[in-house]
Structure 1
Amino acid sequence: MPLFSWAHFGVEHTFDPQYKFVSSPLFSPSVLAGLRSLVALYSLCTICTVLGFDVAAGDGKSFLSYFTLLSLVGLCAYYCAAAVQTFFYARYGRYPLRRWPRLLQGLHVLLQSTVIVFPIIVTIVYWALLSSGESFSTTYNSWANISQHALNSVYALFEILLTNAPPAPWLAVPLQIVLLAGYLGVAYITHATQGFYTYSFLDPAKGPILAAYIIGIAAGDILVFTLVRGVVALRQRWAIRSGRLRSASDGEVGGAGEAIDEWEEIERPVMGSGKTEGAPRVIDSGVGEGEVV
């Protein structure tokens, strides 16, 4: 087997045959789409507000120099995309990403894997190493730090616990490490161009401690990824046993070896359960105009 294959990355011949990325064991697709939209809207408002205050203080040019804000932008982008795809699924019984190129599907899987890992790392690192009395010194500081360093993990837990999204592929781990390493470049470019370190522990003057921090964060990413993946697997097992999600052996719609035809019949799961008994059948053209029969 090759080191990399689309199957290893969670992108089968038919992407997401059980519609896990757009369904929930507890909510109907419409409710899930609405909740994802709220997260996307609030995170976008957070980004715009923080950017506005930074610009007003003359710090706007360093806005994207912080991993916290970069990860929040990625989280916002994911929830915006996921909300749109889920709205399509709620309305038509399928969603556009399933017909898009595998590269875009793989990027969606990778982005989702960062959304359930990076916010947790940001929260741990900030409250363990970087927080101080200034964190709650003003109303704005309190709101900004809670929104960026606490609610971000709440958003991650929402995706981990309250959706049917499958466990992230193991191949996402080295790619996440590459992204973390890439951020080091951003941090040192910021120092070279603006004269400061975004995080004090990145100062090379700290010597061996710097290496310990870098290795520790990389190890933390692997540890958090593994723990989150285990929780997602347990949640998925519970959903299958409780009848809220069909297992892969139950003859799911659009199985891995089945091509998506221009016209096909699919069944929309019962709201919040993943079952299809008694649900209306939707004849879908693949364009988004479906007829219920």
Structure 2
Amino acid sequence: MGLQSFIIKFLKLDRFEPNRIVTSNVVSPKVLCFIRAIELAYVTIALVIVWCNSTSFTNYAKFFTNLTFFGIFAYLLSCTIWSVFYIRVPEAERAHWVKQGNPWWGYTHWMLYSSVVVYSVVVPLVFWTLLSKGMGSWTTMAWYQNISVHALDGVFGALGELILSRHFLQPIHSFLVAGIMLLYMFMTFIVYAREGTWVYPFLRWSQGPIAAVYYIGIAIGLFIVFFALYFIHNARNSFFKEHSARMNPELEHSPVEEKNHGGKVEVEDV
């Protein structure tokens, strides 16, 4: 088994169904494309405004919120592009078309989705509980930016996708999501070594043991959010299974997970 095959099997990427990128449980592919295009337009405008109000690219990129908001932009952009091409294909050919091309585009999109939905819950929770002090002194622009990247990110990235998408989460991907956050933590140490200040106040080691509580608490919270979303996704897809089939008659519904019990293969739909 080659390295690529090992990665695919280990991360269970071979269980991904590309049609889930462009289809919904509750709306048609065209409506889904339209909604995501509107979300993409808003996110793009907000992204540019926040970027332009930063003193430098370095100052912009050191904030986890900005990085995750860019992740939402990348996710919505890829979704919209896929959808535009998908709805232009004759309905009878869509199930075949969506499986064409390099599968790694779909694998990458799936892993991006996992990070987007989790961070879109974690970021607003952390911001509004630990970082939103001094709201009385915020300018109109500050309110716009904070609502966009610390509230509407949850609407677009978590709530909206929970309602609209047909994606599912894979437990092993929780470590990828946690790994991204761990890499970010390492980056904050580099920023501190370079600038002498912590990106976020609660990261300061000078606080003593409470700093470790923050670090560990956020890490545990991330896994709690991931697995809560995992069960919500499975329950949602199961509940809307028949409605999804009616909304997307062109799809060849294939099993997501298979388990072998004593030589008998059983299919689990999510």
Q: Which band: TM-score by shorter chain?
A: 0.7 to 0.9
Deviations 1:151-190 (A, max 9, x none): 000012111121222x211111111111111001111111
Q: Does 1:67 align with 2:64?
A: yes
The Cα RMSD (Å) is 2.6
Same amino acid, percent of matched pairs: 28
Match of 2:164 among 151, 162, 165: 162
Distance 1:82 1:64, change over 3 A: same
Give per-residue Cα distances to partners, 1:263-287, cap 9 Å, x unaligned: xxxxxxxxxxxxxxxxxxxxxxxxx
Q: What's the counterpart of residue 173 of structure 1?
A: 174
Alignment partner, residue 41 of structure 2? 41
- The verdict on how the C-alpha distance between 1:194 and 1:99 changes in structure 2, with shifts beyond 3 A counting, is farther
Deviation at 1:103, TM superposition (A): 3.4
Normalised TM-score (structure 2): 0.82
- The structure in which a higher percent of residues are helix is 2
Distance 2:75 2:232 in 1: 20
Equivalent residue number for residue 88 of structure 2 = 91
Aligned with residue 6 of structure 1, among 3, 8, 25: 8
Separation (CA, whole Å) in 2 of partners of 1:73 and 1:135: 27
- Counterpart of 1:266 in structure 2 is none
* Separation of aligned partners in 2, 1:136 and 1:161: 35
Contact 2:86 2:98 (C-alpha < 8 Å) held by counterparts: no
Q: Which residue of structure 2 lines up, in the alignment, with residue 53 of structure 1? A: 53
1:227: how far off?
1.0
Unpaired segments ≥5 residues, structure 1: 258-293
CA distance in 1, matches of 2:244, 2:226: 25
Residue 27 (structure 2) pairs with residue 27 (structure 1): yes
Contact 1:88 1:95 in 2 (8 A): no
Distance in 2 of aligned mates of 1:221 and 1:203: 20
Alignment pair present for 1:253 and 2:252:
yes
CA gap 1:63/1:41 in 2 versus in 1, 3 angstroms: same
User: One-letter code of the match for 2:252?
Assistant: V
Indicate how the Cα distance of structure 1 residues 9 and 245 shifts in structure 2: closer, same or farther if over 3 A, else same: farther
Inter-partner Cα distance in structure 1 for 2:150 and 2:52: 18
Which residue of the partner structure matches residue 195 of structure 1?
A: 196
Going from structure 1 to structure 2, the CA distance change for 1:78 and 1:135 (only over 3 Å counts) comes to farther
Partner Cα separation in structure 1 for residue 203 and residue 86 of structure 2: 44
TM-score by length of 1: 0.76
2:73 counterpart of 1:76: yes
Give a deviation string over 1:127-157, Cα, whole Å, max 9, x none.
0111012376211111111001000000121
Cα deviations across residues 224-253 of structure 1 (Å, max 9, x unaligned)? 111111111111111114x3238xxx9x62
Task: Give, in whole Å, the separation in 2 of the partners of 1:164 and 1:233.
Answer: 10
Question: What residue ranges of structure 2 are gaps of 5+ in the alignment?
Answer: 1-5, 257-270
For the 8 Å contact 2:72–2:116, the answer to whether it is kept is yes
Asked if the contact 2:171–2:230 (Cα under 8 Å) also holds between the matched residues in 1, the reply is no
Q: Please say if residues 134 and 141 of structure 1, whose CA atoms lie closer than 8 Å, have aligned partners that are also in contact.
A: no
**Matched residue pairs, number?**
244
Tell me the amino acid that sits aligned with residue 28 of structure 1: S
What per-residue deviation string (whole Å, max 9, x for no partner) do you get for residues 43-100 of structure 1? Answer: 1211110111123xxx543100000000000111011001111122212125876333
Q: Distance in 2 between matches of 1:116 and 1:136?
A: 31
SS at match of 2:54: helix
